[in-house]
Amino acid sequence: MSGSVRTVEVNKLSLAVTVAGEGMPVILLHGFPDSAALWRHQIPALVAAGYQVIAPDLRGFGASDRPAGVPAYRLALAMSDVAGVADAFGVDRAHVVGHDWGAAVAWMYAALRPRRVDHLVAMSVGHPAARAFPSPEQRARSWYVLLFQFAGVSEELLRADDWRLFRDILGGAGDAERYLADLARPGALTAALNWYRANLAPELELGPAPPDLPVYAPTMGVWSSGDHLLTEETMTGSAGFVRGPWRYERIDRCGHWIPLDAPDLVTGLLLGFLGSHRTAPVPRRRR
């Protein structure tokens, strides 16, 4: 992976951030159980195209700090980390690209910090309001989310028999050996699972429905037909919450880890979409 890794202090945490190139910034946000290494195929091409790439290891992942406690992994805090990383590099406005949990953070960042997002690309995970009431099929695919809620027990089950259950969940996809090396470090597995405990605990469905969180940036949603974890409707349903131009790309013969499974196609989509629209004015909020 090209670029240098810098350490940035944000929200009392040390976050590792891969930085490369010059030009219009593109913030790349990974998901579970990844790090900025997810984007290693896209970074050189974005730099060659004249972009500055900023790819943090999100809190709890990679070489970034792993704060203690489930509440430390709420999406609002992760979103604040992204804003802090942007500030650290003097970035007022950027394209934002996210996959998996990184997409969830990106959706929230684009909705709540609209003037800081030029174009948004969300891969695999749709808008939070589109995911508020999962279908039976989506609940079946997300069975592992319930397993992850059992603190201590899920850690032991995932590690057992050379990570057999964890490997089964991955289904042979992604960077399995790199993930296992990362998660074997003290506290790393619990930190990664805490993202699910903080944001997808079953009791959260008993609370009020999430707000619509409209997104005004031009947005591209990307979903892959080989994704065994998420249904297509979680992405296509996001269109109703995007007020700017909306584009949907369905990639066939590709698994959940789209940037790894279809690197050239993803790179082409990014280069063709980023900067392709003028961003619509963001309405001022009423006081």
Q: What is the DSSP string of 250-267?
A: EESS--S-HHHHSHHHHH
pLDDT band at 280 (very low <50, low <70, confident <90, very high): low
Q: What is the pLDDT of residue 208?
A: 84
Domain count within the chain: 1
The answer to whether position 220 is within a domain reads yes
- The distance from CA 196 to its chain's CA centroid, rounded to whole angstroms, is 13
The answer to whether position 14 is within a domain reads yes
The answer to whether position 253 is within a domain reads yes
Backbone phi and psi for residue 187, each to the nearest 5 degrees, phi listed first: 80, -10
* Candidate list 65, 127, 256, 261, residue with the active-site label: 256
**N-terminal to C-terminal alpha carbon distance within the chain:** 46
The answer to whether position 174 is within a domain reads no
Determine how many CB atoms are found less than 10 A away from the CB of residue 12: 7
Query: What single-letter amino acid sits at 27?
Result: I
| Percent of residues, the chain, with pLDDT higher than 70 | 96
Q: What is the pLDDT of residue 13?
A: 98
In angstroms, the CA 108 to CA 279 distance is: 17
The answer to whether position 191 is within a domain reads no
* Candidate list 57, 65, 81, 100, residue with the active-site label: 100
Q: Give catalytic status of residue 119 as yes or no.
A: no
Compute the average pLDDT of residues 240-263.
Answer: 96
Helix, strand, coil shares of the chain as percentages rounded to 5? 45, 20, 35
The answer to whether position 135 is within a domain reads yes
pLDDT band at 277 (very low <50, low <70, confident <90, very high): confident
pLDDT in tens, 13-46: 999 999 999 999 999 999 999 999 999 999 999 9
pLDDT in tens, 164-179: 999 999 988 889 999 9
The answer to whether position 150 is within a domain reads no
Predicted TM-score (pTM) of this structure: 0.95
In what order do the strands lie in the sheet containing 13-20? Answer: 4-10, 13-20, 51-56, 24-29, 94-99, 117-123, 219-224, 246-251
The mean pLDDT value of the chain amounts to 94
Q: Give catalytic status of residue 161 as yes or no.
A: no
For residue 72, the enclosing domain spans 4-142+213-273
In angstroms, the CA 219 to CA 244 distance is: 7
Closest CA to 174 of 131, 216, 228, 219: 228
The answer to whether position 171 is within a domain reads no
CATH number at residue 10: 3.40.50.1820
Compute the average pLDDT of residues 204-215.
Answer: 86
